[in-house]
Structure 1
Amino acid sequence: MMSLDLELILGPLRDAADVGEPRQSRLYRLLKASILDGRLAPGTRLPASRQLAMDFRMARNGVLFAYQQLLAEGFLDADRQGTRVAALPLAAGPAPAPLVGQEILSRRGRQLPRIDRSDASLPFAPGIADLNAFPWQRWARLLQQAWGEVSARQLAYTEPGGEPALRRAVAAFLSARRGVACAPEQVFIVAGGQVALDACAHLLADEGDTVWMEEPGYPHARNAMLAAGLRVRSVPVDQDGMAPAEDLWRTDPPRLLFLTPSHQYPLGSVLSLERRLAFLNRLTPGGWLIEDDYDSDFNHVQPGARPLPAIQGLRPDAPVIYVGTFSKLLYPGLRIGYMVVPRWAVTALGEAIGTLYRSGRCVEQRALARFLDSGELTRHLRRMAPVYRARQQALRAALGAEFGTPEHILGGQAGLHLVLRLPDGPDDVAVVRAARELGVIARPLSSYYADGTAAGNGLVLGYGVAEEGRIPELVARLRVASTTARSSDGSAP
């Protein structure tokens, strides 16, 4: 005869409410849950399969299925006397209570600032190129060609460091456009620029080491360093780029120095040649410079002119890691980035990168190699340069007309965004919230500061996805959002 406890546990077998679940699966689930939470204690004997099937009017094969599955998983034991609950440490009591609140994350995980991930397809979302203008048909043909060349072996994991053809193409592309001095073996293909930053943080520094970051700066880069347990020292930026105080080199020298020299993100300054050389000369022994070549491909001041050469190219044997991605030149979902490492560090870093990360996306890497080798990417950049320049000029004019503060418009030498400072308010977070209701996406400048300081109050406005003809009307919406935010915080108009 079945015990009262087992009758209560298996009672739902008589309930027809779980439509679509086979009774044998329900029996297995009920028994397993009861063993795990301790209601069926170790040593408890279960009814014979024939008896249980009769009691609950189910097929005996269904009972045998549940018993056999639990036996295979180690929850039950069977001998000549029958079937009983196995002696498991898991059956000692109820499951541990779930963690709540911030206790779920580690200390490092809790200190990571949240990053707004609102719809990046709307104007004026920064960091996004015009995806409608991308040569999709040509790219699709290259992908199809690459699919026809690969075998099952190549669809497992790609070679460490990436496809050789892409490493050669990236080395040639960077040499021609950015003055980067490197051989293909110095190029390591990774799953996006963020992975490259993560690798730098984990492989070039130890927990507690100091990293200098631009203030304001790129939030994703700061999060990569924080997640690795590094101590972030925020260094202010002026019109010529990062500007550390003289005594900082003595009191808190960096193990890692992170720069966006070609177009500082978000303020848009270009690091002067004098400072580029100074940073190289003053790196301490064991220190590394991470050069994130953000937004270097569009020069709006001197159309057609090459920007300042990469720091890496000024002294190729210096401890510089040159980091880049094709997400903004092609499309974000591609997730292909690269690291260029010094020749003397190829073996050590190559082995470490191969150990920490697995390579993939063989087909896309082969297609991208042909895209670069054929000159298609260079032609695409040349086509888009005047388009983005015209959009920037339209945005600058519209901001001046609506806000009347041209001196508070920052950036514009390169890249795909401008910054509108709001030193007299309203609060930039409130403006962004109001603008979203009007179908316009912007980023609060304050979120790019380590402490979210109000001294950085303003808007970061990308024009990559903003059509030139719509820009005046979109900026007018921003003005409405600003007025709404000012009214809500009670400040004077």
Structure 2
Amino acid sequence: MSPPPRNPTAAWLESPLAREREAGSMQRQLHERLKCAILDGGLAPGSRLPGSRALAEALSISRNTVTAAYEHLAAEGYVQPDRQGTRVTELAPPAKAMRAVKSGAAPATARRLAQIQPGAPRAEMDAALRPGMPALSHFPAAAWRRAIDRAIRNASPATLGYGDPLGEPPLRAAIARHLAIARGVRCEPHQVVMAEGAQEAISLCVRLLSNPGDMGWVEDPGYRGAKAAMHAGDMRIVPMRVDAEGLCTSERDWHKHPPRLVYTTPSHQYPAGAVLSVARRLALIAQARRHGAWIIEDDYDSEFRHTGEPIGAMQGLVDDAPVLYVGTFSKTMFPSLRLGFVVLPAPLMATVQKPLEEMLRGGHRHEQLAMADFIESGQFSRHLGRMRRLYRERQQALRLALARHFKVPHEIDGGHCGLHLTVRLPPRFDDQRIAADALRHRLAPTALSNFAIRPRPSDNGLVLGYGNTSAELFEPLVKRLSQLARAAERA
């Protein structure tokens, strides 16, 4: 008996299918070959596939395998069976578009993405002197594990489903009580909205309160994430300078560039470390009320004040302040926890609660319940106390190392709070080159100029994190940093 006539569309299938288990089942291999041939144009629209018996014999596989592959392709819409066999469906050809992407043509994206400029290269998590990184090895993991275990053990099966879109009520209540005592924030639990860290909380404020084209004021130099959140909301950003008293504004600014949102870090300006004076706080609140603006108060690093009593939050300074208070557990606990929050003014909460319930979905329920237990049991306060002492010691050690071994003219800003020091350098020392060279030695200071939208000569220096670097390492690290700084000096 002579073999059946060979269908020309099957010629490309003559190479045998792989028999190794790693290659996948025969059915999957055949399905992928046929699908790729259809998408690439090797099997033209309307062409007829080989009969299942003929193809099975040509490839030395079972007819059932071919039949199953054809049925899968038909279910996906690549082919269509009829009385005369199985034909390739007429599809919009994607091949040209795919080749364009492969050849280097960038896919179209929203125009706002072009405004979000990349920052410095990301350093490894354990790189020395990285700003914003807490002492991860000192976190009480055993106590946290017990809190997680209790949350899972005591929770009903219903907690595996979606929770309250605004966050777990026990955690919102615990946060409200903690903020009232530790930060002087005036709020009820229902005003607390949970988010995935401070960044998402700021983005939520932008979504709730701004329209495309509205103006947003940001500190300059300041936190890049706030700028990114406003750019993503199609806002027009106005950089506002900071000095030794924090954010600088004038009557002229309010009339020339009236903002919808004002972002500020009043308790510990990031990265310069200034504290916004009470006179400027009251003036900012009064002007915001007069012009219908909202203030986003990012209470950055406020829990770790090293000298004197903690600085109270601006939100609690006067009744009904137009202030949205943003906080996070990324520094007080650990970054990957991804728990932050925003406290909304009561009148605003009454307006946006229903939209928020549609916009958000409750998640991380066991982590939120564990965090509530961690706060209410006193573990959180004890952990903060231990970390304050540790960070105070590490900052003192870093200051001493800078005084002894940093052989470059410099001034130190801040230091009363937080996990970093800002070292200002004369303009002849290229801070971005120093930071880039330091990365090659597993050091991760950030160039101060990277935080500025409109850099000035004074915006030149290094932001040195000491939170996650042991004190005994500072002397050799600063010696190396001094060498790199001298090498980056401009002629």
Q: Aligned match of 2:83 in 80, 83, 99?
A: 80
Residue of structure 1 in register with 2:28 after alignment:
25
Q: CA RMSD in A?
A: 2.1
Q: Aligned match of 1:385 in 388, 392, 396?
A: 388
CA distance in 2, matches of 1:279, 1:481: 41
Q: Aligned match of 1:153 in 158, 161, 164?
A: 158
Residue of structure 1 in register with 2:441 after alignment:
438
Residue of structure 2 in register with 1:463 after alignment:
466
Residue of structure 1 in register with 2:300 after alignment:
294
| Residue-by-residue CA offset, 1:183-207 (whole Å, 9 max, x unaligned) | 0000011111111011111221011
CA distance in 1, matches of 2:265, 2:412: 20
Contact 2:240 2:248 in 1 (8 A): yes
In structure 1, stretches of 5+ residues that fail to align are none
Contact 2:419 2:465 in 1 (8 A): yes
Residue of structure 1 in register with 2:280 after alignment:
275
CA distance in 2, matches of 1:3, 1:338: 65
Residue of structure 1 in register with 2:369 after alignment:
366
Residue of structure 2 in register with 1:397 after alignment:
400
| Residue-by-residue CA offset, 1:59-99 (whole Å, 9 max, x unaligned) | 101100111101111222122222212233x2486445444
TM-score w.r.t. structure 2 length? 0.93
CA distance in 2, matches of 1:114, 1:36: 36
Contact 1:147 1:363 in 2 (8 A): yes
Contact 1:102 1:110 in 2 (8 A): no
CA distance in 1, matches of 2:9, 2:411: 74
* Paired residue type of 2:434: V
1:411 matched to 2:414? The reply is yes
Residue of structure 1 in register with 2:350 after alignment:
347
SS of alignment partner, residue 30 of structure 1: helix
* Paired residue type of 2:116: L
CA distance in 2, matches of 1:259, 1:371: 29
Residue of structure 2 in register with 1:235 after alignment:
240
Q: Aligned match of 2:128 in 110, 123, 130?
A: 123
SS of alignment partner, residue 266 of structure 1: coil
CA distance in 2, matches of 1:30, 1:422: 61
Residue of structure 1 in register with 2:37 after alignment:
34
CA distance in 2, matches of 1:19, 1:124: 45
SS of alignment partner, residue 193 of structure 2: strand
Contact 1:268 1:413 in 2 (8 A): yes
TM-score w.r.t. structure 1 length? 0.92
CA distance in 2, matches of 1:244, 1:157: 43
CA distance in 2, matches of 1:94, 1:406: 58
* Paired residue type of 1:485: A
Provide closer, same or farther for how the CA distance between residues 413 and 36 of structure 1 changes in structure 2, counting only shifts above 3 A. same
Contact 1:431 1:485 in 2 (8 A): yes
| Residue-by-residue CA offset, 1:438-467 (whole Å, 9 max, x unaligned) | 332211101101145554110001111122
The more displaced of 214-223 and 147-156 is: 147-156
Superposition pairs for residues 36-435 of structure 1, below 5 Å?
Answer: 36-88=39-91, 90-91=92-93, 94-99=96-101, 100=104, 103-115=107-119, 116-283=121-288, 284-302=290-308, 305-307=309-311, 309-403=312-406, 408-435=411-438
* Paired residue type of 2:368: Q
CA distance in 1, matches of 2:140, 2:19: 57
The more displaced of 370-379 and 465-474 is: 465-474
The more displaced of 311-320 and 62-71 is: 311-320
| Residue-by-residue CA offset, 1:367-421 (whole Å, 9 max, x unaligned) | 1101111221112212222221222122122212233678611111211111111
SS of alignment partner, residue 318 of structure 1: coil
CA distance in 1, matches of 2:52, 2:20: 24
CA distance in 2, matches of 1:352, 1:15: 55
CA distance in 1, matches of 2:240, 2:149: 47
CA distance in 1, matches of 2:215, 2:58: 69
